[in-house]
Structure 1
Amino acid sequence: MSTDRSSTPVDTAGSDDRRRWKALSVGLVAAFMTLLDVSIVNVAVPSIDRAIHATPSDLQWVLSGYALTFGLVLVPAGRFGDARGRRTAFVVGVALFTVTSALAGLARSPEWLIAARLVQGAAAGIVNPQVSGMIQQLFRGADRGRAFGLLGATIGISTAIGPLLGGLLIELGGEEHGWRWVFFVNIPVGILAVVLGWRLIPARPAGQPDRHRLDPVGVLLLGLGVTSVLLPLVQREQWRGPGKWVLIPVGLLFLAGFAFWERWYAQHRPPLFDLRLFRLRSYTLGSLIGLVYFAGFTAIFFIFTLYIQVGLGYSALAAGLAITPFALGSAAASALGGRVVTRYGRPLVAAGLLVVVLGLLATVWVLRDSPHRSVPLLTAVPFLLAGLGSGLVIAPNQTLTLSEVPVPQAGSGAGMLQTGQRIGSAAGIAGVGALFFSSLADSRGDFSVAYRHSLLLAVGIIALALVAALVDVVAGRRHSGAPS
């Protein structure tokens, strides 16, 4: 497997530089829209409850069903884009996302809304690996770092700013119908992305065969494995009893079966996912860092929303504003990180992780006296610091992880990376959330104590990602110092 990171993709030979940046802009807008829907709906839950009389189980499926189907289709969709062209997959995914957003906004019953969210999540999973694959296909060198920097900023901002935008839409639309605008806002953006995506995104890399089989057995095994691992995590509150946890070892067995199958299948036809990518230290450790970091990173916003809205009584809009410093810091640092990652490499990611840890520890310190007033002001500077660190993690790590992935495997490689991030997010929210509720019960309803305890767990998880980054730094220095 060739891993030449400097070779120019055939599509970009003689292509207009402005056109590829325009294509990237369309991809980033679509990625922002789909990733935003992971978090923006959280603040709309009370309004949805009142409007369509949803049960707690229904509401859990509205939130977690999206994440489940999102993670389920990432690798097959990435492989489809590699084999058949990213433009078709991108346009179909965005169109489906737009239609299901409209259906979700028009929902008249919980069942209607759940079905729309499940398909909407799958559409988001189709779109996202095409954006990463497109960057691999159209950019190289420093330009690739800049492009991934913009993608990293998109990921960080969409995750952090979701509650703020959700709160604003609910404030503007009113408690009764504002939640519908959380979905309707996707419609004009989606229509524009479909039109511009079809015009600007290359149809297919020149000379690439378009009749690859898409490995249905691999799709089935991976789908069963990912579903079995994710389902008990995303349904942790509503699926009572210990029986659900049996699915995790079952899922791991399916994933092991997937690995054996892919190894055999690769001897005969192009596999769904080329396992040889894990021979690349940059890909293996980068994927591990992404999985672990997202476990801690995503959980931060989950427990903070519970703390500030449920525990302290702040509005959805105020809760979103309180998280804004993190989003601003992440946006600024992502743009910088994308520009300098090719110069500094994995030490930049390690430095970013260290800054995130320090920022979150500062958050714990400023909230040490269980304040009930001015929490957004107290946490503004620590969140800004943590956001700056996060911006040096997500984009640079994605750039380095995919740097040696050959362009023909760019979509499936990015899909597997993002699948790990989805699993990490679900596991982190499950674990950190469980500690939050346990501490809440032990402290007799003290939300400040519960938040501090669970935030420390999130910090510990992020510290594990820092250890993985340091391992990569040390291994890289030993490799560069070894005699040739």
Structure 2
Amino acid sequence: MSASENPGPGTAAADQPESHSVIPGIADLSDARKHRALAVCLLVGFMTLLDVSIVNVALPSMQKGLNASPADLSWVVSGYALTFGLILVPAGVFGDMVGRRTAFLVGLAAFTVASGLCGIAANATFLVIARLIQGLASGILGPQISGLIQEMFSGDARARAFGYFGATVGLATAVGPLVGGLLIAAGGEEHGWRWVFFVNLPIGVVAFALALRLIPGCVGAGVARTRGRVDWLGVVLLGGAVVAIMLPLVQEQQWTGRGKWWLVVLGVLLLGAFAAWERRVAAEGHTPLVPPTLLRIRSYTRGATLGLLYFAGFTTIFFIFTLYLQNGLDYSALEAGLATTPFALGSAVSATLGGRLVGKHGRALVILGIVLVTVATGATILVVHWVHGRGAGVAASLPLLVAGVGSGLVIAPNLALSLSEVPVVRAGTAGGVMQTGQRLGSALGIACVGAVFFSRVSHGKGFANAFQAGGVVAICFEAAALLVGIIDWRGRKAAAMVADTGA
């Protein structure tokens, strides 16, 4: 790691030795065993993340096959995001307490069963309930994957592992529409959506068997410290805050009127109460749900903020681009999926490289990635403005490729940098908090960008104009993430200069 990436002010001194270590039981494992375990984690991560984007192109098929209402379809998408975001932090603490392997297996079993329930749904209500369970299960798995990487690897090996994870995130996000289109084309328009869920069953069963054999059973070093009293009030306060903030965002198009935004105010108040309670729990010598010391690590809080803003910008581009292609240009689900493939290819390649380069270039690499994504988003807007008709999807392939390359340099390197000073025993909690921020960011972005997009469509401006207006809002979020990255980069350089002067 370069001098510019040295720990900055705000890191608890007692935490630093732990943050760069590996749990003793895991340290005895061979590199081959660790990488096989990582492969299982990435397989499961790909499967769960795929279900976030794959459903978008399956919605018309669901509507026809189940006679689902627009509200039902909204809950198929937003309900998954809501329960996913709700469980992330408690799931991270759960993994810290009982061990990542145990929590991973629980989440994987629940996700596989829920996928089967989604596939056999006889009506829209059953499907929505199954999707809520699937979101909870996916939320259990998320923090365990980042926590296992944090436990099993250290130094450059950890950065490379996060690079592989970043490639998985980018690939799953972008290739989801393509996979969904292929499955629907194979299964038929009326029942093809069921295969979107059934495809998880063989993957889940195989991954479970591999996880039992390959993921180390070593329990985190913080178990003895975290067993005992569970911060249940903290769970309730944080869960209430997440629901209150996310619900009006994910339901922005379905709930008319401005009254819904009072829930956001309630969520902010609950967050304040949660913060005050966590400080009290820590002062009494008990284990808080989110340790206040974690939020005093500047590299972590800045990285989490950057992730929230970045996900608010980049994930919404796929949301409105897919709508533009399918509703505005009459692309099929398969054609819309093919149109986003360049992003997947660029992201998969650059994320792997990002994991290798982040140790040398640090936050500057993330800044470069955000710049590429922002410029490429602007280029996509110009393409849609200049190219009319069905050729727009093809013309947008180059800027989408550049955006994918940029995104691969953001997600995994930001995660690695953000967790670099976090104690290993808190890796699950820290990962859960970061992913909660990402889900809130995605919901916020879709609410804001979607509001602009659908407003333009409803006023007869056309889907191309709506995409351009929504894209400008997405660029604003990306620019805000860029500003946070620059602030963190300057802070790290200043801290490195102070350290060099003191030495």
| TM-score, length basis structure 1 | 0.98
Q: In the TM superposition, what is the alpha-carbon distance from 1:480 to its structure 2 partner?
A: 1.3
Q: In the TM superposition, what is the alpha-carbon distance from 1:366 to its structure 2 partner?
A: 2.0
Query: Secondary structure of 2:316's partner?
Result: helix
Q: In the TM superposition, what is the alpha-carbon distance from 1:176 to its structure 2 partner?
A: 1.6
In structure 1, what is the equivalent of residue 369 of structure 2? 352
Q: In the TM superposition, what is the alpha-carbon distance from 1:39 to its structure 2 partner?
A: 1.2
Distance 1:59 1:13 in 2: 46
Alignment of structure 1 residues 33-432 onto 2, 5 Å: 33-203=47-217, 204-205=219-220, 208-209=223-224, 211-267=227-283, 268-369=285-386, 371-432=388-449
Q: In the TM superposition, what is the alpha-carbon distance from 1:143 to its structure 2 partner?
A: 0.4
Distance 2:52 2:89 in 1: 18
- The amino acid that maps onto 1:325 is P
String of CA shifts for 1:109-133, please: whole Å, max 9, x gaps: 1111011000000000000100000
2:34 counterpart of 1:20: yes
Distance 1:65 1:116 in 2: 10
String of CA shifts for 1:379-413, please: whole Å, max 9, x gaps: 01110011100000001000000111101100000
In structure 1, what is the equivalent of residue 16 of structure 2? 3
Query: Secondary structure of 2:55's partner?
Result: helix
Q: What CA RMSD, in Å, does the superposition of the two structures yield over aligned residues?
A: 1.2
**Greater displacement, 44-53 / 2-11:** 2-11
Query: Secondary structure of 1:272's partner?
Result: coil
Q: State whether residues 79 and 214 of structure 1, in contact with CA within 8 Å, keep that contact through their aligned partners in structure 2.
A: no
2:485 counterpart of 1:472: no
- The amino acid that maps onto 2:346 is G
Distance 1:432 1:207, change over 3 A: closer
Q: In the TM superposition, what is the alpha-carbon distance from 1:207 to its structure 2 partner?
A: 7.8
5+ residue gaps, structure 2, are: 1-13
Distance 1:393 1:133 in 2: 19
Q: In the TM superposition, what is the alpha-carbon distance from 1:374 to its structure 2 partner?
A: 1.0
Distance 1:266 1:6 in 2: 24
- The amino acid that maps onto 1:151 is F
Q: State whether residues 83 and 212 of structure 1, in contact with CA within 8 Å, keep that contact through their aligned partners in structure 2.
A: no
Alignment of structure 1 residues 440-451 onto 2, 5 Å: 440-442=457-459, 444-451=460-467
**Greater displacement, 59-68 / 368-377:** 368-377
Query: Secondary structure of 1:372's partner?
Result: coil
Query: Secondary structure of 1:367's partner?
Result: helix
String of CA shifts for 1:250-301, please: whole Å, max 9, x gaps: 0111111111111111232111111211211110110010000000011000
Distance 2:215 2:387 in 1: 51
Query: Secondary structure of 1:3's partner?
Result: helix
Q: In the TM superposition, what is the alpha-carbon distance from 1:369 to its structure 2 partner?
A: 2.5
Distance 1:453 1:215, change over 3 A: same
Q: State whether residues 80 and 214 of structure 1, in contact with CA within 8 Å, keep that contact through their aligned partners in structure 2.
A: no
Distance 1:30 1:126 in 2: 12
Q: In the TM superposition, what is the alpha-carbon distance from 1:371 to its structure 2 partner?
A: 0.8
Distance 2:67 2:27 in 1: 56
Q: State whether residues 144 and 399 of structure 1, in contact with CA within 8 Å, keep that contact through their aligned partners in structure 2.
A: yes
Distance 2:160 2:104 in 1: 21
Distance 2:21 2:69 in 1: 54
**Greater displacement, 456-465 / 1-10:** 1-10
Q: State whether residues 98 and 191 of structure 1, in contact with CA within 8 Å, keep that contact through their aligned partners in structure 2.
A: yes
- The amino acid that maps onto 2:323 is L
Q: In the TM superposition, what is the alpha-carbon distance from 1:367 to its structure 2 partner?
A: 2.2
Distance 1:373 1:35 in 2: 29
- The amino acid that maps onto 2:149 is I
**Greater displacement, 90-99 / 236-245:** 236-245
Q: State whether residues 175 and 344 of structure 2, in contact with CA within 8 Å, keep that contact through their aligned partners in structure 1.
A: yes
Aligned residue pairs total 483
Distance 1:380 1:115 in 2: 37
In structure 1, what is the equivalent of residue 8 of structure 2? none
Q: In the TM superposition, what is the alpha-carbon distance from 1:197 to its structure 2 partner?
A: 1.2
- The amino acid that maps onto 2:220 is P
Q: In the TM superposition, what is the alpha-carbon distance from 1:11 to its structure 2 partner?
A: 2.6
Q: State whether residues 98 and 187 of structure 1, in contact with CA within 8 Å, keep that contact through their aligned partners in structure 2.
A: yes
Distance 1:276 1:238 in 2: 39
Distance 1:226 1:214 in 2: 19
Distance 1:15 1:370 in 2: 55
Q: State whether residues 174 and 343 of structure 2, in contact with CA within 8 Å, keep that contact through their aligned partners in structure 1.
A: yes
Q: State whether residues 372 and 403 of structure 2, in contact with CA within 8 Å, keep that contact through their aligned partners in structure 1.
A: yes
Distance 1:50 1:347, change over 3 A: same
Q: State whether residues 97 and 220 of structure 2, in contact with CA within 8 Å, keep that contact through their aligned partners in structure 1.
A: no
5+ residue gaps, structure 1, are: none
Distance 2:227 2:484 in 1: 39
- The amino acid that maps onto 1:78 is G
Distance 1:212 1:413 in 2: 20
